[in-house]
Amino acid sequence: MKELIFLGCCALLLGCNQKPVPGTQRQLLAGELPDPSIIEVNGTYYVTGSSNDWGPFFPIYKSEDLKTWTFVNYTFMERPSWTMSSYWAPELFYHEGTFYNYYTARSKSGTSAIGVAVSEDPKNGFIDKGMLLEWGDEAIDAFVHEEDGRLYLTWKAYGLTRDKPIQILGARLSADGLKVEGEAFEVVTAEADSWERGGIEGQCIVERNGFLYLIYSGNACCGKNCDYQVGVARSKSIKGPWEKFEGNPILVSNANWKCPGHGTAVESDNKWYYVYHGYSTKGFPYMGRSSLISELKWDDDTAWPFFDIDQGAVGEALKYDIHDQFDSNMLGRWWLYNVPNNSSHHAKTTDGKLLLTDVPEDGGKQIGSMIGIAPDYADFTVTTLLNSENDAFKGLLFYVTGDNSLGLGLKGNELILWKIDDGVYTELNRLRLENPGKLKLKADVEEGHQITFQYSHDTGKSWSKITSKQDSSEVIEGDNLAWWSWGQRVGLFVNADSVSGDNTALFEDFHLEYR
């Protein structure tokens, strides 16, 4: 029986009470949700986004008003059998009573390709229909458009092909949307001597007043050197010719949000809105890409779309504290597992505690098994109460990959402060504790990477700080926690003891509070 189970008995409200108004740029949902896709079906809006290398995969939310959102389900609890990693750019589509999710994933051959899954109702999850399209070195960022009763798939091609310009291509789909039947054709090509020099991707198509508008993103999407921007082209037909707007790009970074792009547009109350991602400048580049929404306006004279962002009307950052007592028979939906690590299958709640187990198939990872949460905001405090009953190494950690993490853990009666930077493990401090019993660990985080660790013998009544012996600093620099594709995770870990064989850890609670 799978041990990571969707917390389906609770509806988690994730929205805010701000109404989208002209000129605003605000978060749509709290936390990390790159490459968002939005559709409207019978008055209900559905949103999903990339999972990267974290399961469960492609969360789905719904709303009646674009303001208050409810978690529905994940598209997949387990990775589809043809895939191995890189779960990107899911695109929702609704056709003749069926929901489709056209998603990108890395196949077991190592090439990113486009798959498709279907559902009659997203609350019941999706059924995977396998790989839809493999194209050269990669095919990513699907978007489906219907024209004259026919379905067309568009995608990004040649992003990894040398000496060939990056293109957005199109091809006709079968009537049921599950097969590519037509020959590929060019939609638009990246221009190396323009703002598109880093490539183009993340497209969607809007139909308005006799034109198709291709809203697409260009340059580097992610990481500390990102320079993502949004442009637009238009045509009378998906097969072109397409005319690029002379005023591109139409959406760029500002003082609040960096590297905006990769989104889809939706109409609501006779207005168009663009849902896309961006990095908050708070905690950049250690936090992930958030979902944003802005009104897409139209020039009455030229019929081209534009954005008019009022930076003074951004809206508050969305953040929701988490208090997990592990008192349910299922894990909360906020817990994620790293796909290469597969550690979700070794985490379960039992008798009001979280039991985390390190197993051989997780081998090769210096911190063993872990589960984590994607923080909503860059300033926060996290605590956990753990039981020291065995010699397994267990505790609190901050994680982006198996080669880049840091944390505070207990091994026997020794408390160890550690850091893994580019695969190199460094012990920053080690303290011997007398009868640690139940030990509470705490980390205070500023700007997503400046971390102060503390521990308590009396369940949090009094605290002692642990410093780095390298520089005697109380603040540990998490400069290794910036990753190009996703933000950091904060969570729990266990690493088996090689002598005793102890490989489990019991955690009695987990609290994440924002400032």
Contact 160, 193 (CB under 8 A): no
The DSSP secondary-structure symbol of 503 reads -
Tell me the per-residue pLDDT of 341-389, one tens digit each, with 9 for 90 and over.
Answer: 666 678 999 999 999 999 876 545 688 999 999 999 999 999 999 988 8
Q: 134 and 36, same structural domain?
A: yes
Q: 504 and 373, same structural domain?
A: yes
Q: 330 and 211, same structural domain?
A: no
Q: 334 and 236, same structural domain?
A: no
Q: 178 and 36, same structural domain?
A: yes
What does the pLDDT read at residue 16? Answer: 39
Q: 331 and 225, same structural domain?
A: no
Contact 288, 280 (CB under 8 A): no
The separation between CA 436 and the C-alpha centre of its own chain, rounded to angstroms, equals 37
1 pLDDT band, cuts 50/70/90, is very low
The DSSP secondary-structure symbol of 29 reads S
What's the whole-number average pLDDT of the chain?
Answer: 93
Tell me the per-residue pLDDT of 15-56, one tens digit each, with 9 for 90 and over.
Answer: 434 444 446 789 999 999 999 999 999 999 999 999 999 999
CA dihedral 405, 410, 412, 418 (to 10 degrees): 40
What is the chain's Cα-based Rg?
23
Contact 496, 368 (CB under 8 A): yes
CA distance 15 to 318: 8
For residue 453, list its beta bridge partners: 443
- With a CB cutoff of 8 Å and minimum separation 6, the contacts of 149 are none
Q: Does some domain include residue 37?
A: yes
What does the pLDDT read at residue 389? Answer: 84
Q: Does some domain include residue 279?
A: no
Domain count, the chain: 2
Length of the chain: 515
The domain boundary, picked from 249, 271, 287, lies at 249
Closest CA to 240 of 338, 311, 316, 147: 147
CATH number at 150 reads 2.115.10.20
pLDDT at residue 134 tops 70: yes
pLDDT at residue 120 tops 70: yes
- Give the strand order in the sheet containing 112-119: 83-95, 98-107, 112-119, 127-133
The domain boundary, picked from 196, 215, 249, lies at 249
What is the pLDDT averaged over residues 408-429? 97
State whether residue 93 is helix, strand or coil.
strand
pLDDT > 90 in the chain, percent? 88
User: What are the tokens at 428?
Assistant: 């920053």
User: Which burial class, exposed, middle or buried, applies to 467 when counting CB atoms under 10 A from its CB (0-12, 13-18, 19+)?
Assistant: middle
Tell me the per-residue pLDDT of 464-476, one tens digit each, with 9 for 90 and over.
Answer: 999 999 999 999 9
The DSSP secondary-structure symbol of 344 reads G
Q: 91 and 210, same structural domain?
A: yes
What CA–CA distances, in Å, run from 65 to 16, 18, 275, 314? 11, 10, 14, 19
198 pLDDT band, cuts 50/70/90, is very high
CATH number at 456 reads 2.60.120.200
What does the pLDDT read at residue 316? Answer: 80
Q: What is the largest CA-CA distance in the chain?
A: 77
**Residue the block writes with tokens 């609350």:** 123
CA distance 461 to 328: 26
pLDDT at residue 3 tops 90: no
Cis omega before residue 340 (within 30°)?
Answer: no
Q: Count of CB atoms within 10 A of residue 241's CB?
A: 10
CA distance 175 to 96: 10
What CA–CA distances, in Å, run from 107 to 83, 142, 438? 4, 16, 44
Report the DSSP pairing between strands 353-357 and 414-421.
Answer: unpaired
State whether residue 343 is helix, strand or coil.
helix
The DSSP secondary-structure symbol of 13 reads B
State whether residue 346 is helix, strand or coil.
helix
Closest CA to 336 of 384, 373, 287, 375: 373
Q: 329 and 245, same structural domain?
A: no
CA distance 191 to 205: 20
Q: Does some domain include residue 7?
A: no
Q: Does some domain include residue 489?
A: yes
User: Comparing 24 with 179, which gets the higher pLDDT?
Assistant: 179
For the chain, first and last CA: distance in Å? 38
pLDDT at residue 5 tops 80: no
What does the pLDDT read at residue 312? Answer: 66
- AA identity, residue 420: I
Q: Does some domain include residue 332?
A: yes
Q: 143 and 44, same structural domain?
A: yes
CA distance 401 to 359: 18
Q: 349 and 226, same structural domain?
A: no
CA distance 232 to 306: 9
Nearest 5°: CA angle at 195, between 139 and 279? 75
Nearest 5°: CA angle at 53, between 489 and 495? 55
pTM above 0.75, yes or no: yes
Tell me the per-residue pLDDT of 298-337, one tens digit each, with 9 for 90 and over.
Answer: 999 999 999 998 776 667 899 999 999 999 999 999 999 9
Closest CA to 439 of 472, 407, 406, 412: 412
Residue 441's domain comprises 322-514
User: What are the tokens at 209?
Assistant: 């007043």
What does the pLDDT read at residue 367? Answer: 85
Q: Does some domain include residue 506?
A: yes
Q: 243 and 328, same structural domain?
A: no
- With a CB cutoff of 8 Å and minimum separation 6, the contacts of 182 are 152, 171, 172, 173
